[in-house]
Structure 1
Amino acid sequence: MAVSASKTWRQRLKDEWMLAAFALLALVLAIADPQPWSHYQRWLQLPTLAGLLGLLIAIQGIRESGLVQHLAGLLVARAHSQRMLGLLLVSITAVLSMVLTNDVSLFLIVPLTVAAGGISNLPVLRLVVLEALAVNAGSTLSPIGNPQNLLVWQYLRLPFLQFVGAMLPAAATMFTLVALLTWFWLPRERVELHAEQIDGHAVSASQAALSIVALAMMVLMMEHGHAIIGASLLLIPFALFDWRLLARVDWLLLATFAAIFLGLGHFAALPWVGQLLGAVDLSQPLHLYASGIVASQLISNVPATVLLLERAPDAMALAVAVNVGGFGVAIGSLANLIALRLAKQPQGLRLFHRVSIPFLLVCAPLVYLVARWFG
């Protein structure tokens, strides 16, 4: 019994290595470099965590209503080939990320992709990796597509369309590369529907409707800066009336993001990190571009934006750099981690890096040349 329990905990630790690693980083930094409590509160990004919790609750309700499985069946039944269905899903993901933000679009599309793969021969993990790349590309275009764009947009106070026009060359280049990768990586075979895998579970229209309303409400609350209130409005009723659904929410994903925010936030605030950046001549376009990408690979693109924004003489060039920095390692964009976590596919992180790192190496110079040409 004790040996079995030991194996279970070792496997759990292996599965949640990212949570363990960043929690350890946050703890070590807290001991080595203690800071006032107000700093930890700022690094924790409670509104972001509250928004994520609200989305997790709403999406769990949609999943349990049977609506996702029903839509997946309809989609697979009408698909002509894996390649064309992949292009459709990738395109929808990119478009949704422009208006609903990158994480919300993943919460909608990845469960649909997983459900479709469960009743067909779709290569689910390949599609999820492509969808993670697609949200990075699509959200680049919009000032509300991702947190780093929102930061730059609010900092510069540009008109909406002016921001879109400035980001269009980079976003178009990035999405073109994602579309080409989708076309050549996905098989041309027809989509085969595995009828025996369809559970026949009836759709609960009331639960689906309530969950969709909850999702829309949560998105609106996040857009207007009231994520904590929105999450509370969902959390309290579910805790009182449907606590079993609440128990099935991925709380470990929430804990992982809290550990990442604390660990990376503290790391980015270390004096030597600021000194290192101060030694880089960010007035040189290539230096600024490379700094945004490298910083994103180390501390994720949102903290990289916070760290570099005040120092960057060209905030729009920084926006391009940190969006490109969302490719590469998974930590480059938190949307990558959300996609992989929602998919729960074996070897997901390994395949993501085998694709995303070469993609960054191809994408980065092309986007730089295009952005400079049209800049």
Structure 2
Amino acid sequence: MNKVKGFVKRETVLSAAVILAILSAMVIRPDREYGSYIDYKTIGLLFCLMTVMAGLQSLGVFKKAGERLLGYVKGPGAVSAVLVFLCFFFSMAITNDVALITFVPFAIAVLKMAGMEPLVLPVVVLQTIAANLGSMLTPVGNPQNLYLYSKAGLNAGRFMELMAPYTAVSFGMLVLCLAVVAAGNRMPGKERNGRGQGPMVSGFPGFSQEAAGMEASGKRIYLGRLGLYLFLFLLSLGCVARILPWQLLLAVVITGVWIADRSLFLAVDYSLLLTFCAFFVFIGNMGRVPAFCRFLGRILEGREIITCVGASQIISNVPAALLLSGFSGDYSALIVGTNLGGLGTLIASMASLISYKHIARMYPMEKGRYLGWFTVVNLLFLAVLLVLSLWVIPF
């Protein structure tokens, strides 16, 4: 029983999705149509992207890029900006989850070694918001985008055109927030000479030491794996652009990773894939209940964005996208609504929990203050973007 409780606590969203799927199966008994519920392309693409991102992350590619950028800046304002915009721009290609897993601990380590520890809380708050907002621009930025992009049949250009105004406004708001943070955290004497923060970041565990080690032993293996993972990432983008069939991509990724580093398969978030499958079963079953379809359709009609935002605050934006997409054909509104819905509460985007867990573990006495700042700034961004979506920016 304790193991079950522990699993439910650890995998709350998956547990809820499975319960909903089981309850719906009591209404619509299992039959041949169950097989058609699952969007196998989305599941396959997510698996491939997560596997490839795990490979690139295992090589330290993203942190190395961050270290290089930090080597050219100095001062708390510039360092904060680089750390935040690393999340913003990288999330567009590597997903919001991977961006936060990579750059939040990196930022904490860099700020501590630079004597800028008072900046940790505001920077991590802005990193989290930046990852969620940057990821909304592209189909591969987050799981709900990939699913809705595939379901809507949009091309990548149209998808990015839809989300570009919100991304641009988000960028501007992040710049303003960073200016406020920098103004409130003047640190004379902390700035470094020469190439800025180069001496500081070179002490970050990993890259300069890693590179020296690779000279002697594993450089060829490292470069071989890097080339393979970049090639697989390009193939994944080709599949997203509907140039390659997902079945071919899946076969190539499994084969390539099995040869290069099969331990990467353990890094895949299988609970997310199972959550998708469980929601697909629930949506498929409830879609065969006319009364439920009419009820949810009436709630959604003309209110897709606000409904998505509201649902995301309670169940997170990925489940909201999966649930509501089964009962509305206005995919543009669903895409906007679920992306904006990632702002607000801590669980509005499950990626936000990544940052919170780092803060709670490293600064347990500060987690309440972090949560307060996080909520206030998130609600500010949400209010501005929601007003734009409802009254200013046309689809």
TM-score clears 0.5: yes
Alignment of 1:242-253 (within 5 A): 242-243=261-262, 245-246=263-264, 249-251=266-268, 253=269
Tell me the alpha carbon deviations over residues 176-212 of structure 1, each in whole angstroms, 9 at most, x when there is no partner.
Answer: 3344444445755557548384571234333323322
* Correspondence for 2:338: 322
* Correspondence for 2:392: 373
The structure 2 residue matched to 1:107, chosen from 95, 98, 102, is 98
* Correspondence for 1:223: 241
Is 2:195 the counterpart of 1:195?
no
The more displaced of 198-207 and 104-113 is 104-113
Secondary structure, aligned partner of 1:236: helix
The structure 1 residue matched to 2:358, chosen from 345, 353, 369, is 345
* Correspondence for 1:261: 276
Is 2:170 the counterpart of 1:174?
yes
Secondary structure, aligned partner of 1:201: helix
User: Residues 96 and 135 of structure 2 are in contact (CA less than 8 Å); yes or no, is this contact kept in structure 1?
Assistant: no
Going from structure 1 to structure 2, the CA distance change for 1:32 and 1:113 (only over 3 Å counts) comes to: same
Going from structure 1 to structure 2, the CA distance change for 1:260 and 1:217 (only over 3 Å counts) comes to: same
The structure 1 residue matched to 2:41, chosen from 39, 47, 50, is 47
Alignment of 1:42-81 (within 5 A): 44-81=38-75
Shift of 1:294: 1.9
Matched residue type, 2:249: G
Going from structure 1 to structure 2, the CA distance change for 1:149 and 1:111 (only over 3 Å counts) comes to: closer
- Output the TM-score relative to the length of structure 1: 0.70
Tell me the alpha carbon deviations over residues 44-85 of structure 1, each in whole angstroms, 9 at most, x when there is no partner.
Answer: 433333223323332333344354454444344434244423
Going from structure 1 to structure 2, the CA distance change for 1:107 and 1:181 (only over 3 Å counts) comes to: same
Matched residue type, 2:210: H
Alignment of 1:1-375 (within 5 A): 13=7, 16-18=10-12, 21-22=15-16, 24-26=18-20, 28-29=22-23, 32-36=26-30, 40-41=34-35, 44-97=38-91, 100=93, 103-104=94-95, 107=98, 110-115=101-106, 117-118=108-109, 121=112, 127=123, 129-141=125-137, 147-148=144-145, 151=148, 155=152, 160=157, 167-184=163-180, 192-193=200-201, 195=203, 197-198=205-206, 200-202=209-211, 203=214, 204-224=222-242, 226-240=245-259, 242-243=261-262, 245-246=263-264, 249-251=266-268, 253-254=269-270, 256-268=271-283, 270=286, 271=289, 273-280=292-299, 282-283=301-302, 287-297=303-313, 298=315, 300=317, 301-303=320-322, 306-310=325-329, 312=330, 316-329=332-345, 332-333=348-349, 336-337=350-351, 340=353, 345=358, 347=360, 354=372, 357-371=375-389, 372-375=391-394
Distance (whole Å) between structure 1 residues aligned to residue 236 and residue 106 of structure 2: 23
Going from structure 1 to structure 2, the CA distance change for 1:282 and 1:66 (only over 3 Å counts) comes to: closer
Matched residue type, 1:208: L
Structure 1: runs of 5+ lacking an equivalent: 1-5
Going from structure 1 to structure 2, the CA distance change for 1:150 and 1:107 (only over 3 Å counts) comes to: same
Structure 2: runs of 5+ lacking an equivalent: 191-196, 215-221, 362-366
Identity among equivalent pairs (%): 17
Matched residue type, 2:203: A
Shift of 1:134: 2.3
Going from structure 1 to structure 2, the CA distance change for 1:354 and 1:213 (only over 3 Å counts) comes to: farther
Secondary structure, aligned partner of 1:345: helix
* Correspondence for 2:193: none
Shift of 1:365: 3.8
The more displaced of 265-274 and 318-327 is 265-274
Going from structure 1 to structure 2, the CA distance change for 1:215 and 1:279 (only over 3 Å counts) comes to: closer
Distance (whole Å) between structure 2 residues aligned to residue 156 and residue 213 of structure 1: 25
Going from structure 1 to structure 2, the CA distance change for 1:309 and 1:134 (only over 3 Å counts) comes to: farther
Shift of 1:257: 0.8
